[in-house]
Structure 1
Amino acid sequence: MPRQWKSLALWLLLSFLVAGVASMFMPDAWYAALQKPEFNPPNWVFAPVWTLLYILMAIAVWRVQRKQQHLSFEIALWLLQLLLNGLWSWLFFGLHRPDLALIDIALLIIVLLTTVLAFARVDRIAAWLLLPYLAWVSFASMLNLSLWQLNP
């Protein structure tokens, strides 16, 4: 396997490792009992959407890494957003703290937007690959806010 494909495999592995850890904190009886907003998607939607988003995230950082060959500010931003991404599930589903999860997702949006802008300077396609993720996280933040407001 050529070196470039090995690095893509590593980025995919890292992305899905975080996804795997986050998936330890899944909807439970507490979540099922919450009052949901009208725009709350059915639970089955989340797994395929997140699977696609994690793949796009890994490809995006791989494209940037291939052009830089070292740990850069852009890659550090990407790693930070991945950490915030994984932290959200623990805060929301694990601790049952939609208020703290809302703070986390707000920080995630800021870091992710900064990552998109930083990636655009290195590789425009990499930046474009993160836009569906940014859109989904923005939607998720509205959902998080609504759940917090509906369930004081």
Structure 2
Amino acid sequence: MTTYIPQITIPHAVFANPAASVLLPIALGTGVGFSTRPKDTQNSYMLMKQPPLRPPPYVFGPVWTLLYGLMGYAAHRAITAGMNPLTSSVGGVRDAKHAATLYSVQLGLNLIWMPLFFGVRKPVLALADIAALVGVNGYLTYLFFQLDNVAGWCMAPYMGWLGFATYLNAALGHLNDWKISDEDLRKKKN
């Protein structure tokens, strides 16, 4: 069982407002995406030796926008349902608080992946991050299902994409000898 840690947990007012709950991860994800210079990121991605099934770079923005929106909506549904003492099950308030902390942690792990992989060019650290992200989200999805079935199902596409993203991270790292600086990638192309 996790613990509710108010210092690292997104305030309940965000979860209580459906628009804020949906828009927060979209805005943060968009901000991180633009902070890593999208054109440079796309160019680096295209320089890498690519694994089978890799999507073109233009797919990532729309997919992540949809996934961020779904995870925000799931958090709104699960946490507000769990915090409602009239409709939640025994232990629902406790589980909702745990879920709020886990959601906040997973969002942080999610947001640091791109700077780890494309910013500081550390695919091994990015892989460790995404492995932790999968584990946290597996448990978070379980908690969301306990609080609200729709919220749990809203997390299913995110879990699927995280599995695929883990494959891409590991395959890109392996195929490029875990060195993905532009200089290393250009040397390998020549």
Mark yes or no: TM-score above 0.5. yes
Q: Say which of 29, 38, 59 aligns to 1:45.
A: 59
Q: Is the 8 A contact 1:21 1:86 kept in 2?
A: no
Task: Give the 5 Å matches for 1:1-152.
Answer: 7-23=17-33, 24-25=35-36, 26=38, 27-67=41-81, 68=83, 72-152=97-177
Q: Is the 8 A contact 1:4 1:66 kept in 2?
A: no
- CA deviations over 1:86-140 (Å, ceiling 9, x no partner): 0100100111111110000000000000100011111111011001000001000
TM-score, normalization by structure 2: 0.73
The CA deviation at 1:12 is 1.9
| Length, aligned pairs only | 150
Q: Is the 8 A contact 2:14 2:20 kept in 1?
A: no
Counterpart Cα distance in 2 of 1:21 and 1:90: 11
Structure ID, larger Rg: 2
The CA deviation at 1:18 is 1.9
Question: Unpaired runs of 5+ in structure 1?
Answer: none
Q: Which amino acid aligns with 2:116?
A: L
Q: How much identity, in percent, do the aligned residues show?
A: 35
Question: Unpaired runs of 5+ in structure 2?
Answer: 1-12, 85-92, 178-190
* CA RMSD in angstroms, aligned pairs only: 2.1
Secondary structure at 2:17's aligned position in 1? Answer: helix
Q: Which amino acid aligns with 1:122?
A: L
Counterpart Cα distance in 1 of 2:31 and 2:139: 25
Q: Which amino acid aligns with 1:45?
A: V
